[in-house]
Structure 1
Amino acid sequence: MTMFENVTRALARQLNPRGDLTPLDSLIDFKRFHPFCLVLRKRKSTLFWGARYVRTDYTLLDVLEPGNSPSDPTDSGNFGFKNMLDARVEGEVDVPKTVKVRGTAGLSRNSTLEVQTLSVAPKALESLHEERKLAADHPFLKEMRDRGENLYVVMEVVETVQEVTLERAGKAEGCFSLPFFAPLGLQGSVNHKEAVTIPKGCVLAFRVRQLMVNGKDEWDIPHICNDSMQTFPPEEKPGEGKCALIQASDVGEVHEDFGTLKEEVQRETQEVEKLSRVGQSSLLSSLSKLLGKKKELQDLELALEGALDKGHKVTLEALPKDIVLSKEAMDAVLYFLGALTVLSEAQQKLLVKSMEKKILPVQLKLVESMMEQNFLQDKEGIFPLQPELLSSLGEEELTLTEALVGLSGLEVQRSGPQYTWDPDALPHLCALYAGLSLFHLLTKAS
């Protein structure tokens, strides 16, 4: 994980464990997650790596008829937390309505992160609802209606009060010291110092509520929603796509252990396995070209979702024209695309290198062993690794594997061997496990 992701995930977990506060995973997108911003939720989602939202270039105010602007979002009040950022930062309430977080072991003592919560006031939302109708002919709304998308409005955010530069020293994300990493753009040193500057007013986490469109120009944002609710009236949709994509994991199923994730991944890989050998090889070629290009992977995900909505048949770039993905295969590809886009671009590039080195089976067993042992562990700890999990790897392959796992938030230590478990790393590890499972299958077929 990037340092920014470490901060936002730890913040969300401390402020709202098991709740609906979603951490932002990309610093570059923070301006599109302010209050009143409209966002999309990914369709083929899973609770294992969390609900995922995609920014749009519009706010709720953009798609309403002209009129008075609502009052500014208000501060939600005091809150306090501790053990943020790698469980080594303590929080203390310094002044009303703010929290200052000062680093200890894992963060530079000179770094102080001060955050506040801002939310849309109920009275402001009520006034806006009474005074301004929906601009029914807005092009963005037309596009979303045709695609059968659900729209969500950002209603509350946790944001920085002041610009801050956070620093961290360590090995887990600085394993890129060997020359063969240079062409991948993964340069660094084992004993490195990482820093990220977070600007003032940067959104770190957010809450959403679903936008509902009633008739032509009436709208509402209900307090309680469920996954069967649709933003646009069903009778105005051209196809059924949305309903067909609701997964069991989207409707509140509780995952009890690693076995549940393993079964879920196996179901999806079985659908991919039904493709012909040529189809699997072509899918491998298509996806491999996109690894390390996160935006292109996200664009493919959106294209597949749109095709499913409209009932279109889909072929990927490297697929022969006579090999068309079935709906079931498209669902499975969407599932794995969702996992891959959770990974950083550096991890995606490392997956390509792992395929070239033919070490995916070893990496898959390594990640599986870690999660079998600690899937429900909610505290940090150091745990032993089975020596045979690393014994077959040469120096370069071992360093590559350490980097791949380390970018998910776990540090593998050759001595022992052992590793440090971090519960905040679990969503990334789940996504990495899914990605490794997919490419292990596809490389066997090629």
Structure 2
Amino acid sequence: MTMFENVTRSLTRQLNPRGDLTPLDSLIDFKRFHPFCLVLRKRKSTLFWGARYVRTDYTLLDVLEPGSSPSDPTDSGNFAFKNMLDARVEGQVDVPKTVKVTGTAGLSRSSTLEVQTLSVAPKALETLQKERKLGAECPFLKEMRDRGENLYVVMEVVETVQEVTLERAGKAEGVFSLPFFAPLGLQGSINHKEAVTIPKGCILAFRVRQLMVKGKNEWEIPHICNEDMQTFPRGEKPEEEKFALIQAADVGEAHEDFGTLKEEIHREIQEVEKLNHVGQRSLLTSLSKLLGKKKELQDLELTLEGALDKGHEVTLEALPKDVLISKEVMGAILYFLGALTELSEAQQKLLIKSMEKKILPVQLKLVESIMEQSFLQDKEGVFPLQPDLLSSLGEEELTFTEALVGLSGLEVQRSGPQYMWDPDTLPHLCALYAGLSFLQLLTKAP
């Protein structure tokens, strides 16, 4: 992960563990997540590893009739964090006889991260709703209505009080013989440092509420929403109603239990299975080239989302030209791409090694067994692990597996065997479980 993303996620876990505070993952976008900004939820989003939002170039005030501006967001309090490191993301990975990597990412030792929360006052929102209607013939709203999108309004943010510098420091020692350490065959040690400065007033995390359009120019932002609610009224045209129902099903379900997650993943797996074996193998070839390259993986996700928005059928680079991806299959692929992009680049590269070693089924069973036992555990603790889950793995394979789950925040201990459970790691493990399920399906294609 980038240093910025690393710290925003760590901050969110400390301020609002397992809550609805969403960390910002891109420093360049922070100005588009201020209070009253309009954002979109990514298609095929899920609440299991966190809803993901993308910016627009509009605010709520831009789509309303001209009028008085609302009062400034109110300050809900200040918080300070010093030497904040995220060991769950950047930690230590040992691969026997090959390489030892250590690293941390967070605030520089001399820095303190000071943040404040700003939120839209209920009274200001109520006044705005009474005085200003939706603007007539707003092109942006018309486009969103035609596409069946849901719009969300940023209602609360966490922002920096002062400029702060983030630093990343890492060290690798040994023989760099793994494909994701370069140059190959290098023996010795490498030190790496980098830094980024976050400006004052930078948004680090935010909360949203859904915008609801009533009639031609009435609107509201309800306090409580459910996944069936749509920004724009349904049923204006049969095809729009069908599209809205599909989208409502796409956004995922609440954290009920592990069975709910399994059912959600199973539905998406069934869609990918509609792609013939040639298509599945070609899809795996494409993904194998992109895993470990997070930017390229995200670019593929954006390409597919754009095609889905416009209703186009697309082909991937490795797919034969006569193998087309339907809208339903494309949506399922987007679902799993969302899970894979939640993983760190190191985890993605470890997945490639796991595919080469043919140990995905063992890793999938391991994660599944742990989550079946601990999904609803809301306290940290040590839990026993079935011995047969690790007994089939060799030393190197076991180390790969420990690193893969360890980078999601789950510490597996061979003695016992047992594992250390931290409920804050649940979203990361959900994404890992989905990614393992997806790749396991593709590797089974004859």
TM-score computed with the length of structure 1 as normaliser: 0.76
2:167 is the alignment partner of 1:164: no
Q: CA deviation at 1:415?
A: 7.2
Deviation string, structure 1 residues 68-100 (Cα, Å, up to 9, x no partner): 443321112478999x97699xxxxxxxxxxxx
Match of 1:35 in 2: 35
State the partner residue of 2:249: 247
1:329 aligns with 329
Tell which deviates more after alignment, 29-38 or 351-360: 351-360
User: Which residue identity lines up with residue 368 of structure 1 in the other structure?
Assistant: E
Q: Which moved more, 1:399-408 or 1:55-64?
A: 399-408
Aligned partners of 1:175 and 1:399 also within 8 Å: no
Secondary structure, in 3 states, of the residue corresponding to 2:180?
Answer: helix
Alignment of 1:352-431 (within 5 A): 352-381=352-381, 386=387, 389=390, 392-393=393-394, 395=396, 397=397, 400-411=400-411, 420-431=420-431
CA drift at 1:223 = 3.0
* TM-score of the superposed pair, with normalisation by structure 2: 0.76
Matches within 5 A, 1:116-135: 116-135=116-135
* Pair 1:174–1:348, CA change in 2 (3 A): farther
Residues 303-336 of structure 1: CA deviation (Å, up to 9, x unaligned): 35415xx5x5554444344434455434432321
Determine if contact 1:108/1:167 at 8 Å carries over to the other structure.
yes
Native 8 Å contact 1:23 1:204 kept in 2: yes
Counterpart code for 1:437: S
In 2, Cα distance between equivalents of 1:125 and 1:388? 54
Report how far residue 144 of structure 1 moved: 1.5
Cα gap change, 1:67 to 1:260, in 2 (>3 Å): closer
Pair 1:298-2:301 in alignment: yes
Tell me the distance in 2 between the aligned counterparts of 1:58 and 1:178: 49
Deviation at residue 231 of structure 1 after TM alignment: 1.7
Spell out, residue by residue over 1:90-149, the C-alpha distance to the aligned partner (whole angstroms, 9 max, x if none).
Answer: xxxxxxxxxxxxxxxx98875533221101123433444445443444443232122110
How far apart, in 1, do the equivalents of 2:275 and 2:64 lie? 46
Instruction: Summarize the Cα distance change of 1:120–1:132 in structure 2 as closer, same or farther, 3 Å threshold.
Output: same
CA distance in 2, matches of 1:133, 1:321: 49
Secondary structure, aligned partner of 2:229 = coil
**In 2 relative to 1, CA 286–129 (structure 1 residues): closer, same or farther, beyond 3 Å?**
same
SS of the equivalent of 2:181 reads helix
1:32-431 correspondence to structure 2 within 5 Å? 32-77=32-77, 110-165=110-165, 180-182=179-181, 197-236=197-236, 239=240, 240-247=242-249, 250=252, 253-256=254-257, 258-291=258-291, 292=293, 293-303=296-306, 305-307=308-310, 310=311, 313-326=313-326, 328-381=328-381, 386=387, 389=390, 392-393=393-394, 395=396, 397=397, 400-411=400-411, 420-431=420-431
Moved more, 230-239 or 192-201: 192-201
SS of the residue 1:49 aligns to: coil
Q: Distance in 2 between matches of 1:146 and 1:379?
A: 45
Partner Cα separation in structure 1 for residue 245 and residue 174 of structure 2: 44
Measure the CA separation in 1 of the matches of 2:278 and 2:347: 26
How big is the shift at 1:441?
A: 1.2
**Aligned 8 A contact 1:30 1:204 in 2:** yes
- Please list every run of 5 or more consecutive structure 2 residues that lacks an aligned counterpart in the other structure: 89-105
Cα RMSD, aligned residues only: 4.3
Aligned residues of 1:301 and 1:337 also touching (Cα < 8 A): no
SS at match of 1:232: coil
The structure-2 alpha-carbon separation of the partners of 1:427 and 1:297, relative to structure 1 and needing over 3 Å to count, comes to farther
Amino-acid identity (%) = 76
Q: Which one-letter code corresponds to 2:347 in the other structure?
A: Q
For residues 421 and 342 of structure 1, the distance between their equivalents in structure 2, rounded to whole angstroms, comes to 20
**In structure 2, do the counterparts of structure 1 residues 228 and 273 end up closer, same or farther at CA, with 3 Å as the change threshold?**
closer
Is the Cα contact below 8 Å between 2:170 and 2:192 reproduced in 1?
Answer: yes
Match of residue 93 from structure 1: none
Q: CA deviation at 1:151?
A: 0.5
Shift of 1:359: 3.5
Q: Which amino acid aligns with 2:302?
A: D
Return the structure number with greater strand share: 2
Structure 1 residue 356: Cα displacement: 3.8
Residues 116 and 161, structure 2, Cα contact 8 Å, conserved in 1: yes
Contact 2:80–2:115 under 8 Å retained in 1: no
Q: Partners in 2 of 1:341 and 1:297 — Cα distance?
A: 11
Task: Return closer, same or farther for 1:440/1:282 CA change in 2, 3 Å cut-off.
Answer: same
CA distance in 1 between counterparts of 2:373 and 2:175 reads 27
SS in 2 for 1:270: helix
8 Å CA contact 2:380–2:423 kept in 1: the answer is yes
Unaligned runs of 5+ in 1: 89-105
